[in-house]
Chains A and B, each alone.
Chain A
Amino acid sequence: DAKTTQPNSMESNEEEPVHLPCNHSTISGTDYIHWYRQLPSQGPEYVIHGLTSNVNNRMASLAIAEDRKSSTLILHRATLRDAAVYYCILFRRIQGAQKLVFGQGTRLTINP
């Protein structure tokens, strides 16, 4: 499984932007970059995904480096409800192995 590297934890303040980095230097050309987040005692929640171009949705933005070896999840204006563990995962579209394998993720703390 393609590996991603994320900081164990990050801290930010409410109403400020948050940039969550992810390194994936072994990414292959057809790997999608996925982000999920997990609030305490809940199942993970899909946040965003992308392949090559930057992506925006109502939850966040995903900035993908030109060489695709890293990406950044951007929360434009953090709220206390954004406190969660954020997982960056590579989805490899190989026949018979289309699964998502979670790494350790980044625990994001939001200060009021």
Chain B
Amino acid sequence: GAVVSQHPSRVICKSGTSVKIECRSLDFQATTMFWYRQFPKQSLMLMATSNEGSKATYEQGVEKDKFLINHASLTLSTLTVTSAHPEDSSFYICSARLAVTNTGELFFGEGSRLTVL
């Protein structure tokens, strides 16, 4: 199946710093990527939809200035958590959809665990 890779898998940062997480589709082109956040023992919460070459669409309640998303190419999307605080500590997961499919299946990255001290 299609492969999506995230980097870094784990990051620890100090409060007030910014952290960038990369999401790459390794063997296919992804016109659309999605970013999710997951707190312990909870389900995934969709944060935003990222379309190549255009601005991301954020879900209600997600601060676009806090979580900057860039999708500059068909194989790379980045999520930057700006001025991170301890409450931003979470498991961030990206996913991508094959450009040629419209039946919905997503391929997920391994996730990035962010810990803000």
Binding site for B on A (CB under 8 A): 32, 34, 36, 38, 41-46, 49, 51, 85, 87, 91, 93, 98-105
Interface 9-mer from B64-72, B81-89, B97-105: B97-105
* Bound Cα distance A100, B43 (Å): 12
* Extra 4 A-B pairs, beta carbons < 8 Å, given A43-B108, A44-B93, A46-B107: A36-B106, A46-B105, A99-B34, A100-B95
Complex Cα gap A32–B97 (Å) = 15
User: Which label, helix, strand, loop or mixed, suits the secondary structure of the B interface?
Assistant: strand
How many residues of B are counted as interface, with CB atoms below 8 angstroms from the partner's CB atoms? 27
A98→B43 contact, CB < 8 A: no
Nearest opposing residue in chain B for A49, CB measure:
B105
Do B102 and A101 have beta carbons less than 8 Å apart? no
**In the bound complex, CA of A53 to CA of B36 (Å):** 30
When the two chains form the complex, which single residue of B45, B102, B110 contacts A43, counting CB atoms closer than 8 Å? Answer: B110
